[in-house]
Structure 1
Amino acid sequence: MRFLERLAASEFAVALEITPPQRHLPKVLLRRARLLGDAADAVNVIQRPDRQSSLEASLELLAAGIDPVWHLAARGETRESVAAAAARARDGGIVQVLCVAGDHAPAGEGPSLTVREAIAAVRAAHPGMTIGATLNQYARDPAAARRNLLPKLRAGASYVQTQPTFDVGALERELAAVRAQAPVAAAIAMAMPLLTAEAGERISRRLGLELPPRLRDVLAAGDEEAAWAYFAGTLARLRESPAFQGVAIMTFEMDPLPAAGARIVQALEAAGIR
């Protein structure tokens, strides 16, 4: 069953987030996209300036029978370029996009679209597209982050995807505050297995967050089995909570080994998701 079909059927959906290779390397792209096998209903394809474009990779995945989520980065884009990309996605059969700010545009580029403007341009060019927007639950000013999200929902985004969560209760409270201001059809929580203290420190610095004390203790002890159990527990909390309709799995490694994929699938099964 495809990702959007699960959401429509009120079944918990699972996506895998991947980074495409630096150039057109179909075997590498498919290896990353198939990390979870049939346990993933869709594959989110990150957009980065030094990589194969998300749209190109998404079209390749769709041709291979994999349900893609195209990531559209607004920075450096114009209404015309977004409309052209959305038309190409429409003609290629892509039905889901996550609109993000993206990396900074190269020096000398003209003004960029805002994410709200990019969403509106996609909606105009591809009315049947399901559009997502992101929520940073770790923003220094949560109220400002919510205010930033609302115009994206009004412009046509129908679901919200979060940053990686390690504290489901805190994310539930933040989503309740969002839904008090605007209806959100679906909330997709990102989840990420952290297995080492170094990985925990790097994620903490990158996202500007404080990991829960219990997770910090697990990582400090170097107990990998306990770390996997914590991840499975996070997935179970997400599955049980009415606040979430799905999860997007992100891995710490860009090109994880098959054994890591197998452990993630085991964690999904332990959480009652598959």
Structure 2
Amino acid sequence: MRFLERLAAGRFAVALEITPPQRHLPKVLLRRARLLGDAADAVNVIQRPDRQSSLAASLELRAAGIDPVWHLAARGMSAAEVTAAAEAARAGGIEQVLCVAGDHAANGAPGVTVREAIGLVRAAMPGVTIGATLNQYARDPARARRNLLPKLLAGATYVQTQPTFDVGGLEAELAAVRPEAEGVAAVAMAMPLLTAEAGERIAHRLGLELPGRLRDILSAGDTEAAWAYFRETVARLVESPAVQGVAIMTFEMDPPPEMGERIVAALEAAGAR
């Protein structure tokens, strides 16, 4: 059963989030996309500067029989550019889009807002499933919640979060937005952190403080305990009534097969597979 079908049926859905290669490298792209094998219902393709575009990589994956989630980064894109990209995505059979703000535009142009991009995609791709993001670590949580509502009104039907290391904190944030997001599925991102360096870099990037127990585990260099923490997080997300799916991301851009096997084992132990 595919990602969208599982969400619609009320069954827990699993996506894998990957970074595409720097240029057109089909073998590298497919290797990354197949990290979890059949355990992933879809593959989220991140949009980053100086890499193969999310749209190009998503179209390749779709042609290879893998269900992609195209990340449309609105910043710096005009309405015409968004519409043209959406039409190309529709022609290539893409059925799921995650609309994000994206990094700073190289041309300095502000471009359309995420809300506007969602509306344009909805018009160009009838029937497409559109997601929006929620930063549970925002410095101004109330503002982040207010910014989410227009995206939902524009047509987003699910919300994807930042990497989750404190399930209780995530549940509290989702409860705060739930009154304005009735019927909207929540997909929580989960990431195995295995080293102190990885933990420091993620904490700096997201502007968060990792839970004390996780910091202690990483500082001690206890890899097995770090994996146990990840398994516990996944299990709690699967059990949580506030969460309908998970998007797995790895700190490593090109993780070894063994890491994929351990992630799948965590999903299976949690009953997600």
TM normalised by structure 2 equals: 0.98
For residues 1-274 of structure 1, the aligned pairs below 5 Å read 1-107=1-107, 109-274=108-273
Deviations along 1:67-93, whole A, 9 cap, x unmatched?
A: 100000001111111111111111111
**Distance apart, 1:49 and its partner CA:** 2.0
Separation (CA, whole Å) in 2 of partners of 1:149 and 1:194: 28
**Amino acid of the structure 1 residue aligned with 2:272:** I
- In 1: Cα distance, 2:134 partner to 2:243 partner: 13
Q: CA separation in 2, counterparts of 1:18 and 1:102? A: 15
Deviation digits for residues 19-54 of structure 1 (CA, Å, limit 9, x no counterpart):
001111000000000001011000000011211111
Q: CA deviation at 1:272?
A: 1.6
Q: Deviation of residue 214 (structure 1)? A: 1.2
Unaligned 5+ segments in structure 1 are none
Compared with structure 1, are the counterparts of its residues 227 and 110 closer, same or farther at alpha carbon in structure 2 (3 Å cutoff)? closer
Structure 2 unaligned spans of 5+: none
Q: Which amino acid aligns with 2:160?
A: Q
SS at match of 1:148: helix
Alpha-carbon distance in 2 for matches of 1:267, 1:160: 23
The one-letter code sitting in structure 2 at the alignment partner of 1:264 is: I
Structure 1 residues 206 and 60, CA gap change in structure 2 (3 angstroms): same
1:110 Cα deviation after fit: 3.5
Residue 181 of structure 1 deviates from its aligned partner by: 2.6
| Helix, strand or coil at the partner of 1:244 | coil
CA shift digits 1:94-123 (9 cap, x unpaired): 10000000011114x444111001001101
Quick check: 1:46–1:71 contact (8 Å CA) kept in 2?
yes
Q: What is the CA–CA distance in structure 2 between the aligned matches of 1:106 and 1:194, rounded to whole Å?
A: 31
Partners of 1:160 and 1:214 lie apart in 2 by 28
Q: Deviations over 1:168-196 (max 9, x none)?
A: 01100100101123324200000000011
User: TM-score, normalising length from structure 1?
Assistant: 0.98
The one-letter code of the counterpart of 1:249 is I
Which aligned segments of 4 or more residues in structure 1 are displaced greater than 6 angstroms? none
CA distance in 2, matches of 1:182, 1:265: 30
Structure 2 counterpart of 1:229, which letter? A
Q: Distance in 2 between matches of 1:169 and 1:70?
A: 29
Between the aligned partners of 1:14 and 1:86, the Cα distance in structure 2 is 24
Q: Which amino acid aligns with 1:27?
A: K
**Seq. identity, %:** 81
Q: How much has 1:239 moved relative to structure 2?
A: 0.4
Which deviations, in whole Å up to 9, do the C-alpha atoms of 1:185-212 show, x marking residues without a partner? 2000000000111111111111111111
1:160, 1:184 within 8 Å by CA — same for their partners in 2? Answer: no
Query: C-alpha distance in 2, partners of 1:215/1:49?
Result: 31
Contact in 2 for aligned 1:30/1:61 (Cα 8 Å): yes
Partner SS state of residue 180, structure 2: coil
